[in-house]
Amino acid sequence: MSIGASGYYTPDAWMPHITLPHGDVTPTRLRCAIDKLACQDFDWEIRVDNLALVYQEDEKQGQLKYRMPFVG
């Protein structure tokens, strides 16, 4: 539950993902990243062993607030 969250994070729209570009992304930098990654094979398996909440206020760097390990 949140107030003012982007529509990207609603239960019907959210998709697990790994963010590759973040922060100072310009069209040129993004184009270079896409060119480099476009022909790569990303058939990865990732072990998910916890759920974490990172909270960001204003322009400050996000802070880890909670982490819940998955057990069993």
Helix, strand, coil share of the chain (percent; to 5): 20, 20, 60
pTM over 0.75: no
Taking a C-beta distance cutoff of 8 angstroms, is the pair 23, 33 a contact? no
* Rounded CA separation 30/20 (Å): 10
pLDDT tens-digit map of 12-66: 888 877 777 778 889 998 898 889 889 999 888 888 899 999 888 877 888 999 9
Confidence class for position 1, pLDDT limits 50, 70, 90? low
> pLDDT at position 34, please?
87
Residue 8 has pLDDT above 70, yes or no: yes
Of residues 72 and 33, more confidence is placed in: 33
